[in-house]
Structure formats: structure tokens, C-alpha cells
Amino acid sequence: MTPESTPGTGHPALRVGLVGYGLAGAAFHAPLIAGTPGLRLDAVVTADPERREQLRREHPQARAVDTAEQLLAGPGAVDLLVVASPNRSHVPLARAALEAGLPVVVDKPLAATAAEAAELVALAEARGLLLTVFQNRRWDADFRTVRQLIADGALGSVHRYESRFERWRPELKEGWRESADPADAGGILYDLGSHLIDQALTLFGPAVQVYAEVDARRTGAAVDDDAFVALTHAGGVRSHLWMSALAGQLGPRLRVLGDRSAYTVDDMDPQEDALRAGERPGPGWGEVPEAGHGLLGTTDGAVRHPSLPGDYPAFYAGVVRSLREGAPAPVDPRDAVAALTVLEAARRSAAEGRTVTLTGRSSR
């Protein structure tokens, strides 16, 4: 069995055009697409000579294209467009693809604003096309395990959820992540907060109140590199979310407190490091060694609880099911609108020094 066909269906593989071959495109999207039965990485948009050479080595079957406009100009050139280029290009590229009749996967964040994201969702719905967002952290081992523990009632009634993406990167880097232009959606709040907020909303539903502290702490930083966001969910759970590029010692990745038990995980999911190192999904993919399992219990006694394996390949398998079988999108794009609404409220909270109250469906 190869990714060139979908076993038992007789369908040819869907041809995928990938825009961008930086970290997101090369380390995440390309290998996951290439490894998914029913998909074929057909074209990659990059004009950079070094990245073209890297593409030739890693995916010799894929053709290199200079621009997204060139790729989209060819009628029927691809069956699916994946946008993994800098944030400011997400909306125009997704819009162009939808207007050309193509389903689209967009890396997070879907847009720089909730309003722009909502417009894309409306366009996709009007055209009857798939639009989904690469929220791969929904398939982290720790998140999958927490979700199962909550569903099984192992924690009882959860009242507080703590989640961290912290890094030690004291030196500034070039690129859109350090840009203060709002169109770039730079800064750590949008970069890592997009994941943390999406996970909290997925677990506990709509946020009704948002409080945030957002700072630029590194010398010369033009955008935020250290942030804290507190959410009060409609169901009463409080989520406390930390993200930082200046954490010399890392806090626990997750801590979830319930009235029956608690669950704490110290280490990050292994899949990102594996993909960056050139490893590819296969037997044992995403498994967490016993030493990395979280602790489940209370001060009366806690034990290592086996982690579910991480499963980033599930995202693109879900894309195939959506396109071939009409299954729901692996990530509802309306969830991205909700997360962006919270991100905007967090910026407002930090700027005004107050808690922001959210109402309506946009905070779902």
C-alpha cells in the first residue's frame, strides 16, 4: 500500500499543492501529506533555490512552482491547496483557492483577525468547499490523554486547567514572528497562543471572560514574547495559559485539577522533535516513553498514567475522509474564528488592564 491510492476505493490519490517550504511546510505538512494514503504531494510553491534543492532531495516526485498564482492558474492542476506560508498570506491565498473551486487547509492562525476568518468560513460554506485549519496540537499525546481522562470521568469535575508552551530563546530571530505589523500576526500570543487557546476551547467550550498579561521582554523585541491568558469558560472551568520565549526553566506542560483527581504532565509531545529530525510516521509513532507519562492522582497517592500516542497523521487522514466521504472537517474552521475572538480579547485585556467579557456565538 502506498499514498498514491486509497485502498479499496479505486480512487486516484488527491493531488496536493503546498504553498511554503519553510519549517511548517517542510517539517510538518510535506511529510504528513506524503505519508497519508489517498494524498500525493504533487507541487510545492517555493522560489528559494536552497529550499528547492531540499524539496528535490526529500520529495523528488513533487514539482517546484515559483508562485501560488502560477499554481492556481492551471485549471485542475491540483485537488487540494495547503497554505503553510507566512501569516499575512493566509487569507488571500485561501480566498483565491476557494474562488478557484479548491478545498483548502490553512496553517494556524487562519487569519490575523476573527472578522477575516469569518469571511473565509462564509465563502467556503457558500462554495460548498472544505476549509480546515492545521491545529495539529489537538493530536498531541498529552492533549489526547487529558481529553480521554475527562471523558472517562477519571478527574471528576474539572475546575482548573493549566497549559504551557514555554521556550528558552533569549536571542531575537529574523522573520514574521518578530514583526510588529498587525498583518503578520507576529508575537508569541498568536504563534503559540493559537494552539493553547484552541485546546482550552476544545476541552471546555466557550470562553465568557478573558484576562491577559502580554509583554515584550527581550532586548529589542518589537512584539510580545511572554504572555499569560486566563479564560473563564461558560461551564465554569478556568483555563490558565502561559507562553514564553524567555523561560530559562520550563514549567509543567499540563496540569488539570478536578474534584476527584489531578493530572500533571511535564514534557512536550515528541512528534515535533521527531519530524524536525527527519523521522517519519510508522510503527511506534508518537509513543511516549514511560518516564514521560503524566502523574494521575492526589497527594494521597499518584501513579504514572500511560499516555495515548500522539497522532499528527490523523489530521490529513481526516482531510481525506472529508473530501472522499463527506465526513466533517478534522478541525471546524469556525473554531478558528472562536480562538481568534479570544486572542483579540486577550490583546484588548492586556492593553486596557481589565477583564474582557465575551458574548455571542463568536466565543464558542
The dihedral through the CA atoms of 313, 314, 316, 317 has a sign that is: positive
Question: Which segment of 74-83, 209-218, 224-233, 339-348 scores lowest on mean pLDDT?
Answer: 74-83
Residue 144 shares a structural domain with residue 111:
no
pTM across the whole model: 0.94
Q: How confident is the model at residue 6 (pLDDT cuts 50, 70, 90)?
A: low
The cell numbers describing 125, all together, are: 460554506
> For residue 9, what pLDDT is reported?
58
Please give the radius of gyration of the chain, using alpha carbons only, rounded to the nearest integer: 20
DSSP for 107-175 reads ESSS-SSHHHHHHHHHHHHHHT--EEEE-GGGG-HHHHHHHHHHHHTTT-SEEEEEEEEE-B--S---S
Question: Which segment of 29-33, 176-180, 272-276, 317-321 scores lowest on mean pLDDT?
Answer: 176-180
The pairing of beta strand 39-45 with beta strand 14-19: parallel
Is there a domain that residue 43 lies in?
A: yes
Residue 146 shares a structural domain with residue 117:
no
> For residue 234, what pLDDT is reported?
97
Residue 180 shares a structural domain with residue 81:
no
Residue 258 shares a structural domain with residue 307:
yes
CATH number reported for the structural domain that contains residue 91 in this entry: 3.40.50.720
pLDDT at residue 192 tops 80:
yes
Residue 119 shares a structural domain with residue 171:
no
Give the span between the Cα atoms of 323 and 9, in whole angstroms: 13
Q: Which of 183, 207, 18 is nearest to 116 (CA)?
A: 183
> For residue 337, what pLDDT is reported?
98
> For residue 91, what pLDDT is reported?
97
> For residue 363, what pLDDT is reported?
52
> For residue 185, what pLDDT is reported?
87
Residue 39 shares a structural domain with residue 171:
no
Q: How many domains in the chain?
A: 2
Q: How confident is the model at residue 7 (pLDDT cuts 50, 70, 90)?
A: low
pLDDT at residue 173 tops 90:
no
Is there a domain that residue 332 lies in?
A: no
pLDDT at residue 159 tops 60:
yes
pLDDT at residue 2 tops 70:
no
Residue 86 shares a structural domain with residue 100:
yes
Is there a domain that residue 61 lies in?
A: yes
Average pLDDT, the chain: 94
Is there a domain that residue 333 lies in?
A: no
Residue 117 shares a structural domain with residue 25:
yes
Is there a domain that residue 4 lies in?
A: no
Residue 144 shares a structural domain with residue 126:
no
Residue 143 shares a structural domain with residue 290:
yes
Domain span at residue 27 reads 14-135+315-327
Is there a domain that residue 285 lies in?
A: yes
Helices (H), the chain: 23, 30-34, 49-58, 68-73, 90-99, 114-127, 141-152, 188-191, 193-204, 271-276, 313-325, 333-352
Contacts of 266 (CB under 8 A, 6+ apart): 252, 253, 292, 294
pLDDT at residue 1 tops 60:
no
Residue 172 shares a structural domain with residue 298:
yes
For the chain, how many residues are written? 364
Kindly state the average pLDDT of the residues 211-224. 94
Kindly state the average pLDDT of the residues 175-194. 88
Question: Which segment of 4-8, 9-13, 229-233, 282-286 scores lowest on mean pLDDT?
Answer: 4-8
Is there a domain that residue 9 lies in?
A: no
> For residue 77, what pLDDT is reported?
87
Is there a domain that residue 294 lies in?
A: yes
CATH number reported for the structural domain that contains residue 275 in this entry: 3.30.360.10
Kindly state the average pLDDT of the residues 171-181. 84
Express each pLDDT in 21-31 by its tens digit.
999 999 999 99
Express each pLDDT in 136-156 by its tens digit.
999 999 999 999 999 999 999
Residue 42 shares a structural domain with residue 66:
yes
Question: Which segment of 75-79, 113-117, 200-204, 335-339 scores lowest on mean pLDDT?
Answer: 75-79
Kindly state the average pLDDT of the residues 56-74. 95
pLDDT at residue 74 tops 50:
yes
> For residue 37, what pLDDT is reported?
97
Dihedral, CA of residue 241, residue 118, residue 103 and residue 192, to nearest 10: -20
